[in-house]
Structure 1
Amino acid sequence: MNLFEIPLPALLSQLLLGLVNGAFYAMLSLGLAVIFGLLNVINFAHGAFFMLGAVLAWIGLEYAGLGYWSMLLLAPLVVAGLAVVIEKSMLRWIYKLDHIYGLLLTLGITLVIEGLLRSFYGVSGLPYSTPDVLQGATDFGFMQLPNYRMWVVAASLGTCLATWYVIEKTRLGAYLRAGTENPKVVEAFGVNVPTMVTLTYGFGVALAAFAGVLAAPVMQVSPLMGQNLIIIVFAVVVIGGMGSIKGAILTGLGLGVVEGLTKVFYPEASSTVVFAIMVIVLLLRPAGLFGKEQ
């Protein structure tokens, strides 16, 4: 389709919708980048933790009467607590081994979590209503954009920028980066590196759970909701550069917009355009757009 043949409202609508999807990509890829960049672990369980955040939000509402805003705080904390247990009992034994061990272990964790929830809730989607204060839509002239989707973009951008600032611009972030490269030197300054590593993993997982709660009113809550999304997010991380915080944020948002525009120009390729870009980037720059060459 020729660019000049596309109605401007349709083009702008897909740009905004692509930005919403990109916000989820950025949040999830940020958590993956934090865990890989600071712990050197490929966390394939990230999609399961994303799903777990959404399921906990639904459980909190259905069984405890806890609303969206309460679960937006509680669900990431609960999932982070689970992640701390996993890190202390399993992950810390494989940090010095090849990446494939971490990948296989976290894949196994994913299958266990998904299997348990499927046995309780099946695979059909569970509805989760939009909070009252965010219901309705805003008229942009060319489209009616739901207020909740604007909140998703704002919350995701705020979280991503705050995380980037802490890791790249503060003393805590400097300790985190130094602790993964030379833990003995950092421990000489009185820093408990194992605890710092554990909390870093918990924080990266909490980002995934936070994104899951944000996604609950947008997607159908299901034990399988993280499966397809995590494949795209891994591609985003590879394109941005494994371990690059800035790359995860910018690439996630950018690819969401590209995916949205592809639905206008060539809808059949919208589900594969991210992977096509990944192949091109790997051929031209194997370390990713923002990654550092080894």
Structure 2
Amino acid sequence: MNVYLLQVINGIGVGMLYFLLAVGLSIVFGLLRFVNFAHGAFYLLGAYFCFQAIQWGMDFWLALAVVPLLVGACAWVVEKVVLRHVYAQAHEFHILITVGLALVLQELVIVIWGPIGDNVAAPASLQGVVMWGSFIYPKYRLFVIGFTAVFSLLLWYVLEGTRLGSAVRAGSESTEMVSMLGINVFRMFSLVFALGAATAALAGVLAAPIRGVEPFMGVEALGIAFVIVVVGGMGSFFGALVGGLLIGVVQSVMSTLWPEGARLMIYVAMAAVLLLRPHGLMGRG
């Protein structure tokens, strides 16, 4: 099988994980105009909670369902207790408090699990490879592509076909108008923030068997998430999807063509998009 075609498929899988990571950040910013630098920490918690659940003997499939809900619940509490009080402040306050929250969560991970990373085994049913003629590919990575595609469709339906989604889209234009319609804006803020954290945690759970867990993976994830949001366009669901796939494929292909510069090319791609589309590929001008 052509190595570049294999890398493109790898890039699609990585890009779908990047989409899950970035879409929550994009939605939260689009609705709340809130710069959340703690977003990568929820990805970190998702990965480590999955690791701990498997260490306790929990089935991976159960962890896949429970961990994002648990992290989402934690984010819901944090939003109500801490973040709600700074929404009306300048973005500098948003940055300071969420960076502080991210550092606290990162240090807690180091205190509980130590500074050294660890591996997470893929479920037994997804270990090994799939062979179709000359096509050979790991089962787990194929599962990640399929699962994230289905989840993306469900998330799209929630945002486009439900009352919550209508309120979120209207709120991204004018929270005052939504409030006048009788919708509890603060409750909607809490739900959206929890949903964003849960999708980041889901990305962490799915990524754990691929890359393992280590305490600083949240910082790396946050940087990539911001790149994707900038490339795709602030507040855009499809922008996060397109941006995630673009960055994933660029990184994967460049890891073959120029391994040392693969990460650099992520930022080159971002710069190229911004030169052509300053508001992102799917952003509103």
TM over 0.5: yes
- Report Cα offsets for 1:60-87 as digits up to 9, x if no partner: 1223x21111111111111111111111
**Corresponding residue for residue 55 of structure 2:** 62
Give the drift of 1:103.
2.0
How far apart, CA to CA, are the structure 1 residues paired with 2:34 and 2:223? 16
Q: What is the aligned-residue RMSD (CA, Å)?
A: 1.7
The question of whether the paired residues in 2 share the 8 Å contact of 1:12 and 1:142 is answered with: no
The question of whether the paired residues in 2 share the 8 Å contact of 1:39 and 1:180 is answered with: yes
**Corresponding residue for residue 17 of structure 1:** 10
Give the drift of 1:117.
1.1
Q: Secondary structure at the match of 2:217?
A: coil
1:226-241 mapped onto 2 (5 Å cutoff):
226-241=218-233
1:203-222 mapped onto 2 (5 Å cutoff):
203-222=195-214
- Report Cα offsets for 1:194-246 as digits up to 9, x if no partner: 11110110001000011111111111212222222221221111011111111
TM-score using structure 2 length: 0.93
- Report Cα offsets for 1:151-205 as digits up to 9, x if no partner: 1111112222222232134332111222354444434444222111101100010
**Corresponding residue for residue 198 of structure 1:** 190
1:17 partner amino acid: N
Q: Secondary structure at the match of 1:130?
A: coil
**Corresponding residue for residue 267 of structure 1:** 259
Q: Secondary structure at the match of 2:2?
A: helix
The question of whether the paired residues in 2 share the 8 Å contact of 1:87 and 1:201 is answered with: yes
The question of whether the paired residues in 2 share the 8 Å contact of 1:13 and 1:142 is answered with: no
The question of whether the paired residues in 2 share the 8 Å contact of 1:35 and 1:243 is answered with: yes
1:58 partner amino acid: F
**Corresponding residue for residue 283 of structure 2:** 291
The question of whether the paired residues in 2 share the 8 Å contact of 1:9 and 1:143 is answered with: no
1:87-236 mapped onto 2 (5 Å cutoff):
87-236=79-228
How far apart, CA to CA, are the structure 1 residues paired with 2:69 and 2:127? 26
2:46 partner amino acid: G
Cα 1:271/1:186, change in 2 over 3 Å: closer
2:89 partner amino acid: L
Cα 1:47/1:141, change in 2 over 3 Å: farther
Query: Which one is further off, 15-24 or 259-268?
Result: 259-268
2:221 partner amino acid: L
How far apart, CA to CA, are the structure 2 residues paired with 1:255 and 1:180? 25
How far apart, CA to CA, are the structure 1 residues paired with 2:2 and 2:118? 32
The question of whether the paired residues in 1 share the 8 Å contact of 2:12 and 2:249 is answered with: yes
The counterpart of 1:42, out of the listed 35, 42, 57, is 35
Query: Which one is further off, 138-147 or 84-93?
Result: 138-147
How far apart, CA to CA, are the structure 2 residues paired with 1:20 and 1:85? 32
TM-score using structure 1 length: 0.91
The counterpart of 1:26, out of the listed 15, 19, 36, is 19
What count of residue pairs does the alignment treat as equivalent?
285
How far apart, CA to CA, are the structure 1 residues paired with 2:2 and 2:175? 54
1:73-88 mapped onto 2 (5 Å cutoff):
73-88=65-80
Cα 1:188/1:58, change in 2 over 3 Å: same
Q: Percent identity?
A: 40
How far apart, CA to CA, are the structure 1 residues paired with 2:27 and 2:178? 19
Give the drift of 1:101.
1.9
Structure 2, gaps ≥5 residues long: none
Cα 1:75/1:189, change in 2 over 3 Å: same
Give the drift of 1:257.
1.1
Cα 1:142/1:188, change in 2 over 3 Å: same
